[in-house]
Structure 1
Amino acid sequence: MTTFVIFLAALIGIEHLLIMLLEMFAGPNTQAKAFDLSPSFVKQPSAQVALGNQGIYNGALGLLIISTLFFFSGPTLITILRLLMFFVMIVGTYGGLTATKKIFSLQLLPATIVFILLFLV
């Protein structure tokens, strides 16, 4: 069970790295579709800067989740992953309320499932 939960946490880390790639390097039309924004908005230089900034945060979060798996073990790993999943839950809730409802199912739900499972291992 513990290996399965750690695998799920790793998937959430990878998801955040993929979100970073979308926010920082995808074309405006792809970004607009992925984030439910209008293409005209996403093409604005200030929107590109904002998306890039968000990308840095998502990339850092994804890298932190994945690197945690290599640097910690046992109860310390579980505690840190709980904290990181809780953080993703907060970010997912805010994003789902303010940006697009897709964030509830793509970020909040998986992090919540892993968060709960981390208390069962």
Structure 2
Amino acid sequence: MTIAANIIIALVAVLHMYFLVLEMFLWTKPSGRKAFGLSPEQAEATKVLAANQGLYNGFLAAGLMWGLYLGAEGTPFKVFFLGCVVVAGMYGAVTASRKILFIQALPAALGLALLVVA
């Protein structure tokens, strides 16, 4: 189960690095606007907020990668950062879009469950 947990955790980290890129660098570009359903005006008006959000997603990814790098000693980091991702995903699902529950929270919850079982 440890290998499966680490694979899921790595995927969650990569996903959050992708969120960082979308929110910090592509927010006002066609691909970023399409991903979030924004008009050019909405994207321009919210780009600073999105960049801040992207930075936080990068911190989540970094914490998960640090936990993976530490191996077994990194389990507390993995648990903490996966928990943060689950909470962020649930909050996003309630306040922004239900699909966030499936894109963000569910993979992290799966990784957390596999980590606890391991």
Unaligned runs of 5+ in 2: none
Per the normalisation by structure 1, the TM-score is 0.87
State the match for 2:2 in structure 1: 2
Structure 1 vs Structure 2: percent identity of aligned residues? 32
Pick 1 or 2: higher relative contact order, CA cutoff 8 A, min separation 6: 2
Aligned length: 117
Runs of 4+ in 1 over 6 A off after TM superposition: none
Per the normalisation by structure 2, the TM-score is 0.89
Unaligned runs of 5+ in 1: none
Mark the CA change 1:37 to 1:81 in structure 2 (over 3 Å): closer, same or farther. Answer: same
| Paired residue secondary structure (1:119) | helix
Please tell me the root mean square deviation across aligned C-alpha atoms, in Å: 1.5
Shift of 1:99: 1.5
Mark the CA change 1:99 to 1:41 in structure 2 (over 3 Å): closer, same or farther. Answer: same
Between the aligned partners of 1:35 and 1:91, the Cα distance in structure 2 is 17
User: In 2, are the aligned partners of 1:36 and 1:100 still within 8 Å (CA)?
Assistant: no
Deviation sequence 1:54-104 (CA, Å, 0-9, x none):
11111111112112211x232x32232112111101000111111122211
